[in-house]
Amino acid sequence: MRQADFPTDIRDLLFPAHTDAQMVYECVGCEAQYPLERFLYTCPGCGGLLRICDLTFDNLLDIPGPLWQKIFDYRRMLNDEGLKGIFLFHELIFPIIPLDAVINLGEGHTPLVRANEELSSWVGTNFSIKYDGLNPSASFKDRGMASAISFINYMIKSKGIKELLGICASTGDTSAAAALYLSYLPHDVVRSVVLLPQGKVTPAQLSQPLGSGATVIEIPGVFDDCMRIVEQLAEEYEVCLLNSKNPIRIQGQKSYSYEVAQQLDYQTHDLVVVVPIGNAGNVTAVMEGFLDLYRLGIIEELPLIIGVQSEHANPVVLWRQSGEYRPIEVRPSVAQAAMIGNPVSFPKVSRLVEEHFKERFAAVQVTEQEIIEAMLIANRHGHVVCTQGGESIVGLKKGVEMGLVFPNQRVVVDSTSHQLKFAGFQQMYFEDSFPEGYDIKPREELKNRPIAMEASAKAIARHLGLKKKR
Ligand SMILES: *Cc1c(COP(=O)(O)O)cnc(C)c1O
Ligand SMILES: [Zn+2]
């Protein structure tokens, strides 16, 4: 719809006007602030994590919550490229980035699909699944890359940067997203490098950065080892770190929560949101996103956030149980994208929980067997969820059993990537070929294999027990 065709009370608010915002990095430890004019990942003063802070956020309070709802809802009908993706929520993500510097590769606005009835009754409650696997590189990481790469693009344009090397460590999806988004920027300025733990990402995930033309470096070890190395590189060399430690990624990932609220017509009373936790960037962004909406009166209540972890990678669960945080050594997990023993964003999570979410945050632990079977069962009922989606679904089932979730609550489960990225684990289940350490014993009734037969209608009909037409 063209601007002139919108109702008059909305017409002048359609395009973001909060462009003179003052944004800074703020340390979550010592609260020192630093200008956004360079790339920073940790506080130069105390080494703490940084978040992006809009010092002029309160100016947004001039518009009442219900009017914000209307602006965001009408804006969906506007065909402006900069506002079509996650930057529909421009004021809440990166108001200082001009719309013509926004890179939108089709991310965000993923469907919220009501869970099939049989699946809901297996879980013990009705719920919906938000398919973040339907992003361009097939995971939610695109949300954060869209904001990060838009910011980089803005820096290249406004600061005349001539050379930039984007780098990340990855359990698979970060590198897929980073390589995709970086490859959209001018190749004479931007290079793209990803560090992967050898043999610990799926073939589909490995093919993605290779296909986008990134330099792919494999090292022995697990994700935590890759993370240590890119952190050192970012500290000592001129590189741009694109892990979720970089707060410019968290800004974009908040869009998940804005969309959930919008898809529920901003009715967040009794809402439960279930997310898998790996490096804890996602759960941080989800909480920050809802907090923004709450502060602006766009929603009236914060949801209950249930974070789910495998018992093979459960530092946040252990923290919630004991009150003490310590990194753990991970064991093999089919929820490989969340197989992280020392989540970088943990300090942000603990702070958000202590200051804002309190009892509205729970951490639930599930087994490897439960994760893969929840994925298989969901996908046998019309869904396309990944292993981390399976982890969320069975985490919800546990939450219901534990009394965290009551019947008739609104529940949204995050399926963070696409089923196809994790087809290898499905195959291992069907073939009973899990390497040692996964602790998964496939059950016959969930196995499925192709059946080789002769090319004969008669033989196939006999096999299927078909009745002849009369
Ligand atoms: C990255 C990732 C996660 C974990 O998210 P964090 O922000 O690391 O907690 C979960 N699922 C998928 C598919 C991912 O790519
Ligand atoms: Zn600090």
Q: Which residue has the least CA distance to atom 1 on ligand 1?
A: 337
Task: Say how many Å lie between the CA of residue 344 and the centre of ligand 2.
Answer: 15
Q: Quickly state the pLDDT bin for 408 (edges 50, 70, 90).
A: confident
Q: Quickly state the pLDDT bin for 288 (edges 50, 70, 90).
A: very high
Residues with Cβ within 8 Å of residue 400, at least 6 apart in sequence: 123, 124, 125
pLDDT for residue 201: 85
End-to-end CA distance of the chain: 56
Q: How far apart are CA 340 and CA 82, in angstroms?
A: 34
Least confident of 199-203, 240-244, 337-341: 199-203
Q: Which residue has the least CA distance to atom 14 on ligand 1?
A: 337
Q: How far apart are CA 454 and CA 41, in angstroms?
A: 60
Task: Say how many Å lie between the CA of residue 392 and the centre of ligand 2.
Answer: 33
Q: How does DSSP assign 301-348, residue by residue?
A: SPPEEEEEEETTS-HHHHHHHHS----------SSGGG--SS-TTHHH
Task: Say how many Å lie between the CA of residue 467 and the centre of ligand 1.
Answer: 48
Q: Which of 145, 171, 349 to mutate to test the pocket of ligand 1 (most atoms within 8 A of CB)?
A: 171
CATH topology of domain 115-135+251-435: Rossmann fold (3.40.50)
Q: Which atom of ligand 1 is nearest to the CA of 172?
A: 15
Task: Say how many Å lie between the CA of residue 326 and the centre of ligand 2.
Answer: 21
The values of phi and psi at residue 134, to 5°, are -95, 30
Q: How far apart are CA 216 and CA 108, in angstroms?
A: 26
Task: Say how many Å lie between the CA of residue 71 and the centre of ligand 2.
Answer: 36
Q: Which of 279, 306, 371 to mutate to test the pocket of ligand 1 (most atoms within 8 A of CB)?
A: 279
Using DSSP bridges, classify how beta strands 190-197 and 215-219 pair: parallel, antiparallel or unpaired.
parallel
Task: Say how many Å lie between the CA of residue 276 and the centre of ligand 1.
Answer: 7
pLDDT for residue 407: 82
Q: What lines the ligand 1 site, CB under 6 Å? A: 139, 141, 173, 244, 276-283, 337-338, 386, 388, 416-417
Q: Which residue has the least CA distance to atom 2 on ligand 1?
A: 337
Q: Nearest ligand, CA of residue 47?
A: 2
Domain ranges for the chain, please list them: 115-135+251-435
Q: Nearest ligand, CA of residue 48?
A: 2
For residue range 244-278, list pLDDT tens digits in order: 899 999 999 999 999 999 999 999 999 999 999 99
Residue found under tokens 């033989």: 459
Residue 445 Ramachandran class (φ > 0 left, ψ -120 to 50 alpha, else beta): alpha
Q: Nearest ligand, CA of residue 31?
A: 2
pLDDT of residue 131 exceeding 90, the answer is yes
Q: How far apart are CA 71 and CA 298, in angstroms?
A: 11
The count of residues in the chain is 470
DSSP character at residue 116: P
Contact 260, 293 (CB under 8 A): no
pLDDT for residue 446: 98
Q: How does DSSP assign 264-287, residue by residue?
A: TTT--TTEEEEEE-SSSHHHHHHH
Mean pLDDT over the full length of the chain: 96
Using DSSP bridges, classify how beta strands 410-415 and 271-276 pair: parallel, antiparallel or unpaired.
parallel
pLDDT of residue 350 exceeding 90, the answer is yes
Task: Say how many Å lie between the CA of residue 40 and the centre of ligand 2.
Answer: 12
Q: Which of 275, 336, 388 to mutate to test the pocket of ligand 1 (most atoms within 8 A of CB)?
A: 388
Residues with Cβ within 8 Å of residue 31, at least 6 apart in sequence: none
Contact 396, 380 (CB under 8 A): no
Q: Where are the alpha helices (DSSP H) in 108-197?
A: 117-123, 141-159, 173-182
For residue range 292-313, list pLDDT tens digits in order: 999 999 999 999 999 999 999 9
- Picking from 234, 226, 227, 248, the residue whose alpha carbon sits closest to that of residue 44 is 234
Give the predicted TM-score (pTM) of the model.
Answer: 0.96
Q: Which atom of ligand 1 is nearest to the CA of 340?
A: 8
Q: Quickly state the pLDDT bin for 347 (edges 50, 70, 90).
A: very high
pLDDT of residue 196 exceeding 90, the answer is yes
Using DSSP bridges, classify how beta strands 23-27 and 50-54 pair: parallel, antiparallel or unpaired.
antiparallel
Q: Which residue has the least CA distance to atom 8 on ligand 1?
A: 279
